[in-house]
A and B are shown apart, each in its own frame.
Chain A
Amino acid sequence: AQTVTQSQPEMSVQEAETVTLSCTYDTSESNYYLFWYKQPPSRQMILVIRQEAYKQQNATENRFSVNFQKAAKSFSLKISDSQLGDTAMYFCAFMNPQYNNNDMRFGAGTRLTVKP
């Protein structure tokens, strides 16, 4: 079974600074997908970034980038130039396309607070 671990329950960062959220996962598969989702106080889950395991290049979306270390099974999220609107819960998620229905498994989440 796949497990996703987020070891930082809470983090804070000053506005305009950079913060990195950690995520590790456990799988014996070689082909899979990783995601970071953001859940602001509204509770709406928003996709931040995704990474295909077969791609060596780290995914980037504007101020959000990942450091994907496949051998170490690590998938950290870096947020640059943090903004107040980045305050939210961040969930790392794993999906194995080999499994029926391609369901997604989430980590416990990291609560990020951006301070003015």
Chain B
Amino acid sequence: GAVVSQHPSRVICKSGTSVKIECRSLDFQATTMFWYRQFPKQSLMLMATSNEGSKATYEQGVEKDKFLINHASLTLSTLTVTSAHPEDSSFYICSARMGQGIETQYFGPGTRLLVL
């Protein structure tokens, strides 16, 4: 149980376009989902936290107008990278938590974004 999927797994886009990444909890309801960014050979950096039905909470230094997060249902959160530029190229990982008091996060397989 506790499977999280991400789509797409890999995306290549032109500079200036927007890219949407979906994160789904397949067999549980996720009240909270997290979005991370991972550069090559580095650790995971938390970008934002999204709770179903409310606005996302962004970490310091993360542009909320650049990285739009929507947590429309208990099983789906989306991250949209708007007007992508080459420096946005990275590996994006989402995770989901079942509910308050449930500490373990379950991670998606990640999405590799390459902006040309």
Contacts and interface: CB of A to CB of B under 8 A. Distances in A.
A103 B109 contact: no
Contacts of A108: 42-43
Contacts of A95: 103
A105 B59 CA distance: 12
Contacts of A45: 44, 93, 95, 107
A91 B38 CA distance: 12
B57 to A, nearest CB: 6
Contacts of B24: none
Interface in A23-57: 33, 35, 37, 42-47, 50
Contact of A43 (B57, B103, B110): B110
Interface string B28-72: 000010100010001110100101000001000000000000000
B34 A103 contact: yes
B42 A104 contact: no
A101 interface: yes
Residue of A33, A95, A101 most packed against chain B (CB within 10 A) = A101
A97 B109 contact: no
B109 A43 contact: yes
B105 interface: yes
Contacts of A35: 104
